[in-house]
Amino acid sequence: MVSISIKRFFVRAKHWQIFLLLIGPCLIAQLALANSIATPMASVEDFDRTARILGAFTLAVMVCLMGWFWSVGSLLTSVIPEQQRLPLLRLRLSLIYPAVYITYFFATLSVSSPPSALIIPFHLLAMFCMFYNLYFISKSLVLAETDKAAGFYEYSGPFFLIWFFPIGLWIIQPRINRLAERS
């Protein structure tokens, strides 16, 4: 029941609501970070506290963004004809991994020394997952709107708009709202 209302919120929300939900915590985290930099840190505990606060805000933004991707991906998959659908399981896995990774990253950063080179493959996998999410949402959006197969040229516009989401959100979310009203 809760997940249905969350999905409904994300696909029916206005662009400015999603914008505030994603950018608001970023601004608060930046203000907290600027405040901690402006005051001299007395100890390592102060740095750890600041890192935990920044990690918590980063995780909050990540959860909201992944929730938006999850909701939009679910909506678009339900609108697209079955033979043209992209596999929803891949989207869900590629949404879960970056959230788990960022949680692990901030948890180990505050406990131990800076991460070693072993973390690079995990970071690259998280980046790949994020690009897959952009691909899935942008291609599914074009498939849902046109009802025909789309090459990269057709979905590259939405791909880059979603990638630069503070700007692209103002263009993409109304299109998602129209599809949500239709379905």
- Which pLDDT value is given to residue 112? 62
Question: What pLDDT sits at residue 37?
Answer: 67
Taking 70 as the threshold, does the pLDDT of residue 38 lie above it? no
- pLDDT tens digits for range 14-29: 888 888 888 887 787 7
Query: For the chain, what is the domain count?
Result: 1
pLDDT at 55 over 90: no
Higher local confidence (pLDDT), 74 or 42: 74
CB 24 within 8 Å of CB 179: no
Does the structure show a pLDDT above 80 at 132? yes
- CA–CA distance, 155 with 46 (Å, rounded to integer): 46
Average pLDDT, the chain: 82
Percent of the chain with pLDDT over 70: 86
Coarse DSSP helix, strand, coil percentages of the chain, rounded to the nearest 5 percent? 85, 0, 15
State the residue range of the domain holding 21.
2-182
